Amino acid sequence: MTTDIFKQVLFNDGEGLAFGDLHDVQRFQNARIADQFFRAHAGIQFIGSLASTADRQDYEQDYVIDSTQAEEQCFALRGGAGYVHGIPSAKGGVALEVYTRRGTILQRVATADGASSGFLAFEVPTTLPGSPLTTLGAGDAVNPRIDAIDVQLQVVEGDSETRDFEDAVTRALTTASTDKTRRVDATFTVTAGTPAPSPSPPAVPANHVRFALVDVPALFNSQFDHTNFRDMRFPLGVRTLRVMSNNMLRQDLGQQWTIGGSQQVISSPGVNADLVRVFPPVGGAAMRLLGVGLFSFNFSALIVERLMRYTIAKATGVASTTSLHTVTSLTDDGWKQTTPGGGSAATLPLNTPIWMNGWEAGPARMLGQTAEDSGVGEDYDSVVLELDTDTGGASIQVAEFYVAGWL
């Protein structure tokens, strides 16, 4: 059994030099680095096999990357770089302009074969007012719409130079222009959505991946902020953030869940049980939520899971919650997992991403706050898993958040 992914060019003593071999040395090395590193950390491929009642899977193992879903995603080397955002007028932002923050994005363009890189990488530049990534059209007179920003990465040749070439037989010289470099080029394509009472995103153009979606309300003609953006990138790296029951926040309004036993579980008291809120151990905006999981036993109750955005306002210290998704209802013992919204990839709401700060815009939320205030800090934002039941006997030991964005 052999593999082509690690192949290399061999040179023999006395043989003529073939320039194609020199090119292959570079191509094979680039392919090895890209396909072994990026392929191992691009974790979105597992979602297709995750059903709402699936047995627990190991989210940290190396799943097979050669899948259609991986080809449809815009990956990011880091979640906190290479994203779209807005700039308020107070900081010089221009109406309807969309800006980017410097960072690396990636697109899977081929199956790993060791000859050419299956992943291409491009560094998105920082764009500023007056020279944005793009300028969108004003809002429709009646209905909102969703505009799409998609990107295609491809290899191009350039930097042509004039060189003399000697014929191997006649030794005659000829002069010709030839390209001297290969680089990755990014084509950003903006597609305006169709205005409607409940608009849908436009289709992704051929050979592109979805970079971002922008919600454009009716009559909108101002500067965009984080509430307009949906960051569609998937950061590289898939990890599990685990929370044990003794670290879960139990409401105390008269029907508090009890905690105890050698197994450190929390148990529901019965009808009108207070809520349990599970905060992730890391709430960084630069990670994207892929799914959640619970481990339970003596599960004689129905537990409803809700994903919430939990915000503490920096100015007042007042906490508030915003419902994102009711995830699923669980009735069995053992590990149960679900994607946001419930179900498998067929029902996964990829057009409404959830980042670990609870905002669809992800990192752009933090940048927006910094730009709008006087530098006195930011609000606290985090995704929270809320557990609710009206039946006694439900016991929970562990909750898990599965996230993209942790190399």
1 within a domain of the structure (yes/no): no
Q: Is residue 86 part of a domain?
A: yes
For residue 407, pLDDT over 50 is answered with: yes
- Whether residue 4 is contained in a domain is answered as no
pTM attached to this predicted model: 0.84
pLDDT (tens digit, 9 = 90+) per residue, 277-286? 999 987 677 8
How is the chain split among helix, strand and coil, in percent rounded to 5?
A: 15, 35, 50
Residue with the bigger pLDDT between 284 and 293: it is: 293
pLDDT of residue 332: 59
Question: Phi and psi dihedrals of 27, rounded to 5?
Answer: -65, -45
Gap between the Cα atoms of 84 and 364, Å rounded: 7
How far, in Å, CA of 41 to CA of 59, rounded? 11
- Residues 6 or more apart whose CB falls under 8 angstroms from that of 236 comprise 38, 41, 42, 43, 75, 76, 77, 106, 404, 405, 407
pLDDT in tens, 139-178: 999 999 999 999 999 988 777 777 777 777 888 888 877 7
In contact, 270 and 302? CB cutoff 8 Å: no
The answer to whether position 12 is within a domain reads no
Which pLDDT score is estimated for 306? 85
Q: Is 32 exposed, middle or buried (0-12, 13-18, 19+ CB in 10 A)?
A: middle
Contact 305, 328 (CB under 8 A): yes
Cβ atoms of 330 and 294 within 8 Å: the answer is yes
Phi and psi angles of residue 38, each rounded to the nearest 5 degrees, phi first: -65, -40
Check if the beta carbon of residue 82 is closer than 8 Å to that of residue 363. no
Taking the alpha carbons at both ends of the chain, their separation in whole angstroms is 30
- Residue 355 resides in a domain: yes
Q: What is the DSSP letter of 140?
A: P
Question: Does 245 reside within a domain?
Answer: yes
Question: How far is it, in rounded angstroms, from Cα 380 to Cα 187?
Answer: 36
Task: Give the residue numbers spanning the domain of 66.
Answer: 19-404
Residue 5 lies in a domain: no
pLDDT at 389: 80
Q: What is the mean pLDDT of residues 286-310?
A: 78
Q: Which residues partner with 242 through β-bridges?
A: 400
How many domains are contained in the chain? Answer: 1
Higher per-residue confidence, 348 vs 364: 364
Residue 14 falls inside a structural domain:
no
| Local structure of residue 208 (DSSP, 8 states) | -
